Amino acid sequence: MDWGLKNRLSRIVQPKTGKTVMLAVDHGYFLGPTSGLEVARETIKPLAVWADSLMLTRGILRTSVDPETAPPIVLRVSGGPSILGELSNEGISVAMEDAMRLNVAACALSIFVGSPHEKENILNLARLVNEGTRYGIPVLAVTAVGKDMKRDARYLALACRIAAEQGAHMVKTYYCEEFEKVVQTCPVPVVVAGGKKTPEKEALQMAYDAIKLGAVGVDMGRNIFQSDDPVAMIQAVRAIVHKKATVNEAYEIFSKTKSKKQAPSKTGVGNTWED
Ligand code: R5P
Question: In CATH, what number is assigned to the domain containing residue 78?
Answer: 3.20.20.70
Ligand 1 neighbourhood includes 26 CB (under 6 angstroms): yes
What pLDDT is recorded for position 268? Answer: 55
pLDDT of residue 273: 53
Task: Please check whether residue 62 lies inside any domain of the structure.
Answer: yes
Ligand 1 mean position, distance from CA 24 (Å): 6
Q: What are phi and psi of 79, to 5 degrees?
A: 175, -170
Q: Is residue 247 included in any domain, yes or no?
A: no
Q: Is residue 274 part of a domain?
A: no
Q: Ligand 1, residues 27, 110, 273: which to mutate, most atoms within 8 A of Cβ?
A: 27
Is 253 among the domain residues? no
pTM: 0.93
- Please give the tally of structural domains in the chain: 1
CB 163, CB 125: distance < 8 Å: yes
**CB distance 221 to ligand 1 below 6 Å:** yes
The pLDDT score that the predictor gives to residue 261 is: 54
Q: What angle do CA 28, 60, 30 make, to 5 degrees?
A: 20
Asked if the structure places residue 100 within a domain, the reply is: yes
User: Is the CB of 197 inside a 6 Å radius of any atom of ligand 1?
Assistant: no
CA-angle at 81, arms to 79 and 83, nearest 5°: 115
Longest dimension (CA), the chain: 49
In a domain, 251, yes or no: no
Q: Can you give the residue range of the structural domain that contains 59?
A: 3-196+213-221
24 lines ligand 1 (CB under 6 A): yes
Annotated active-site positions, please?
172
Q: What is the pLDDT along the chain (275 residues), one digit of tens a residue?
A: 799 999 999 999 999 999 999 999 999 999 999 999 999 999 999 999 999 999 999 999 999 999 999 999 999 999 999 999 989 999 999 999 999 999 999 999 999 999 999 999 999 999 999 999 999 999 999 998 777 778 899 999 999 999 999 999 999 999 999 999 999 999 999 999 999 999 999 999 999 999 999 999 999 999 999 999 999 999 999 999 999 999 999 999 999 999 555 455 445 566 665 55
> Is residue 20 situated within a structural domain?
yes
Residue 244 belongs to some domain of the structure? no
